[in-house]
Amino acid sequence: MKPIDYLKYAFQIMGYKGFRAFGFPKMMPSNSVFSVTNACNSRCKTCHIWEKYRKDPKMAQKEMTTEQWLKTWKTMGPSTFCVFTGGEPFLRKDAYELLLGIQKYKKPKILTICTNATFPERVEKVLDKFIKQMNKDINLTVNISLDHIEEKHDEIRGIPGNWKKLLETTKAIRRLQKKYGHPNLCYHTVVSKWNVHDVPKIYDYVVNKLKPDVYIMEPSELRYELGTINTDILPKKEDLAKVFRVYSTNKNVTKLTNLVRKIYIEKYIKGNGLPCYATFNHTQITTNGNVWACCMMADKSPLGNLHDVDFDFKKVWFSKKADEIRKKVKNKSLPTCKGCYLAVAANTSIPQNLHLTLLYGLGGLVK
């Protein structure tokens, strides 16, 4: 982002603080996640989104059309951060048209595209076409799921040959980088009971052999969005803490990352979290038109459905029901929310609580 953008973002932070504390100024979300499909060819142990259409095939017929997504984004206006995800978003035949719509109406400064990396040719084709006409001020990142190395990655993801496709997708991204200077290459590892003891090995391989621009690790979580409530996927907290403390002190990780990881892992162990800004600066829109506070609460506490308001996002965002949910988020009284630590909504809370983040981190550094 340009220097002027950081200044605007600083004023945004102040505005959202007022929105959360006093209910004004009323603001649109600066962080928007778009789950454009629940279809997914992966069979991940840590995510059961792929089961949704298998259990209820009629759900697939309720996916928002290209025109409905465009109408929604037009009523939303710009968001600084946008995430294009699924399911597997590249299963949508209109992926390119949707990305154009995000660029036109959402005008993001940071755009992240998530993929399971099983369609390298399609990823390269869509992104090549998009980047050719992409606004120069967009910071584009492709976020590739990587949960282990080689056969163990395939085992966790549930697709034989996924690792080979991941490497092919990586090569495709590298070709685009050489051609256009975009996108950033990011790998994303979900730490679960199936890989927690191998994280040092995974980390070393990713950083030293694959050499991404960004590498993210986060704990697996029990989410309504993923269909993982009451499932046995979580690593032991003591194992997780040990792994992330090693990770956060690695010489390849920046001091800022070290600070953030220290804060969130310690809060994870204690069961605490920073004040949440979901429904204030963050939202997630699902493919059936539901507007969520975040991925943790999902359909258990929707703000409303876009089909009911002719895809006018403002009518949902500023509705009486949305205000009621905001009060519950602020008061921590939503029964479906047990707190989150490293997911998207938690990350949007970090800048809003920068003073607490720095104080907590400095206190730890003094120790």
Average pLDDT in the chain: 86
Share in percent of the chain as helix, strand, coil (round to 5):
50, 15, 35
Please tell me the predicted confidence (pLDDT) of residue 259. 46
Range among 49-58, 61-70, 346-355 with highest mean pLDDT value: 61-70
Percent pLDDT > 70 in the chain is 82
Please tell me the predicted confidence (pLDDT) of residue 43. 97
Please tell me the predicted confidence (pLDDT) of residue 367. 30
Backbone angles phi, psi at 228, to 5 degrees: -110, 10
Token pair 């993929």 is found at: 115
Tally the domains of the chain.
Answer: 1
364 pLDDT band (50/70/90 cuts)? very low
Q: How far apart are the C-alpha atoms of 352 and 118, rounded to whole Å? A: 36
Dump pLDDT digits (tens) for 203-224.
Answer: 999 999 999 998 888 888 878 7
Please tell me the predicted confidence (pLDDT) of residue 79. 94
For the stretch 154-169, what's the b/e string if a residue is b when 16 or more beta carbons lie within 10 angstroms of its beta carbon? bbbbebeebbebbebb
Please tell me the predicted confidence (pLDDT) of residue 359. 38
Please tell me the predicted confidence (pLDDT) of residue 153. 98
| Tokens coding 124 | 């390269």
Half-sphere exposure of 141 (CA within 13 A, CB side): 20
Residue 77 belongs to domain with CATH number: 3.20.20.70
Q: How far apart are the C-alpha atoms of 11 and 230, rounded to whole Å? A: 41
Please tell me the predicted confidence (pLDDT) of residue 273. 59
Q: What would the mean pLDDT of 21-40 be, rounded to a whole number?
A: 95
Q: How far apart are the C-alpha atoms of 39 and 89, rounded to whole Å? A: 8
| Tokens coding 163 | 């690792």
Range of the domain at 355: 3-366
Closest CA to 90 of 113, 65, 72, 66: 113
